Structure 1
Amino acid sequence: MDVDMMLNEKLKMIDDAITKKKTIMDCHPEVPLTPTAKMNAYEYPATWFYLHVKKSRDYSNLLYEKYTNCLTEIIQERALPVLLDKHGTELLTEVMRLWSEYEEFASFLSKIFAYLDRYYIHRKGLLSLADSMRYYFCNLVCDKLFSKLQEAMMRLIIQEREGGQIMLAEVAAYYSQLSLEWWFWGDSFSNYLRKVDWCLNQEETRAELYPSQTTKTKILDVQCSVMKYVLLERNAKKWAQKQNAEGMAAEDQHRMSDVCALELYKGIRNPRLVAFQGV
């Protein structure tokens, strides 16, 4: 077979494997790569190219260029369009998610082009496959979105160091207003508990936007503690009287137990809130 035809055949094997990998990444119903398909992508092309290097038909430059082009394409096609309209913590969360996907894809590519690391890259003094993977992501994503990423990270730092009290004051004011509105409209204790439960769920949903699990847990603990104080503990006597007058359904008793189980300051619970359980 003509060498150029064999070259095109091997390149097509690689292209087919990459296309299949992208399809799997898109969560389309696609059969995973079989051992034979992996061998066609990883072993046969690499062996063929390596043997032709020995025969002075060096296609390594072509393969290295193809590897870097695959990296830039996946970033430009799948990462940048998603990130350009994101801001704040949502941007940081998406960067982390897309980096994880990109890293998986680059790992897949490195198996196909592995022989370049062993021979061509070292001889030419080029970036290794792993270093290229990091370089292109930083160059195309981090550099392009540097100002937005910096702003998002600074907001988190300021919120963590200085903005905590402001945030808590806003949370307290918000739930104080809600409590007054619910009391004004004569909510039953049962309905009031359902609304408190709904608010707790909303705070948990908002906390999920934080990329760091530690920050997420801390923010949720503090905000829920403030919310519980405003909605329940501050007016415990008033709501206890309302509860006595109306009684408490089994469903509400369970809900009240869940609310009381949320601990404040490393397990120290407010006795006024716990008192609800004994009413």
Structure 2
Amino acid sequence: MSKSSSEDDNMQLYMMVYSMCTQKPPHNYAQQLYERYKTDIDGYNSSMVLRSMRQINGDTLLKRLVDRWRNHKKIVISETRFFFYLDRYYISRKSLVPLEQLNLCSFRDQVYSELKDKITRTVVDMISDEREGKVIDHALLKDVLDVYVQIGLGMECYKVDFENAFLESTRNYYSNKAQTLILEYNGPDSPEYMLKAVECLQAELERASHYLHSSTEPKLMQDLQSELMIAPGEPHTEEAN
């Protein structure tokens, strides 16, 4: 198809939507068009997108999530052009949910909500693997965590669905790590222990710079200091002794 033919088709689609939204009742179909739009995008996300992701795991799932989310955003940009009049005038006048937000909520409710626990476990497990020396795909994790941020209409999904689980896993990991180091280096006050503790802090800070949202870093450092910088007389120290 030539560029001019494609542009003609796009203009025809735009004019058809415009006509459906500007005629007088009973020939004005703006409300029906809006409702059908929501039904169709929900149906596509649940029957096509979610179905393609349910049976896969690991980094394959993460890659599919990133690809599907990027494709979804492209669809939103494309369809917003065609439904500009509906979005700009009818939806605004009726105080309905704008199409861009409607699309985002559809992906979140139809796809992300069912898979978020499995996705979070996969990400947290990959970070745990990296702490043990395994090489992981930083760019992929950054892209996945960007989905958490973008899909939540704010930071809610990132904080509730990922950050809480990540910080809990971090506390558990370094609580056990601290016990091992205390026994190995004869207590938390030894220079050798402090050097190892600082190494852990630096390693986590480096990881944070690659894929975590900047808002996580202060909480991460606070938890690490609580688990690793153990003062004499704390229960951890007494138990180790």
Q: TM-score, normalised by structure 2?
A: 0.52
| Other-structure match for 2:55 | 85
Aligned AA (2:127): I
1:51 and 2:22 are equivalent in the alignment: yes
Task: Work out the CA distance in 2 between the residues paired with 1:64 and 1:123.
Answer: 13
Give the 5 Å matches for 1:86-165. 86-160=56-130, 162-164=131-133
Mark the structure with the bigger radius of gyration: 1
| Other-structure match for 1:256 | none
| Other-structure match for 2:36 | 66
1:211 and 2:140 are equivalent in the alignment: yes
1:75 and 2:42 are equivalent in the alignment: no
Give the 5 Å matches for 1:247-262. none
What stretches of structure 1 move > 4 A for 4+ residues in a row? Answer: 30-33, 207-210
Task: Work out the CA distance in 2 between the residues paired with 1:31 and 1:105.
Answer: 21
Task: Work out the CA distance in 2 between the residues paired with 1:213 and 1:31.
Answer: 38
How far the C-alpha of 1:150 sits from its partner, in A, is: 1.3
* Pairwise CA RMSD: 2.7
Give the 5 Å matches for 1:7-22. none
Task: Work out the CA distance in 1 between the residues paired with 2:76 and 2:141.
Answer: 24
1:37 and 2:9 are equivalent in the alignment: yes
Task: Work out the CA distance in 2 between the residues paired with 1:34 and 1:155.
Answer: 46
User: Unaligned 5+ residue runs, structure 2?
Assistant: 144-241
Whether the aligned pair in 2 keeps the contact of 1:117 and 1:128 (CA below 8 Å) is yes
Q: TM-score, normalised by structure 1?
A: 0.45
Identity percentage over the alignment? 22
Whether the aligned pair in 2 keeps the contact of 1:41 and 1:112 (CA below 8 Å) is yes
How far the C-alpha of 1:51 sits from its partner, in A, is: 2.6
User: Unaligned 5+ residue runs, structure 1?
Assistant: 1-29, 169-206, 215-279
SS in structure 1 opposite 2:114? coil
Aligned AA (2:6): T
Q: How many residues align?
A: 142
How far the C-alpha of 1:71 sits from its partner, in A, is: 1.3
Aligned AA (1:163): E
How far the C-alpha of 1:57 sits from its partner, in A, is: 4.1
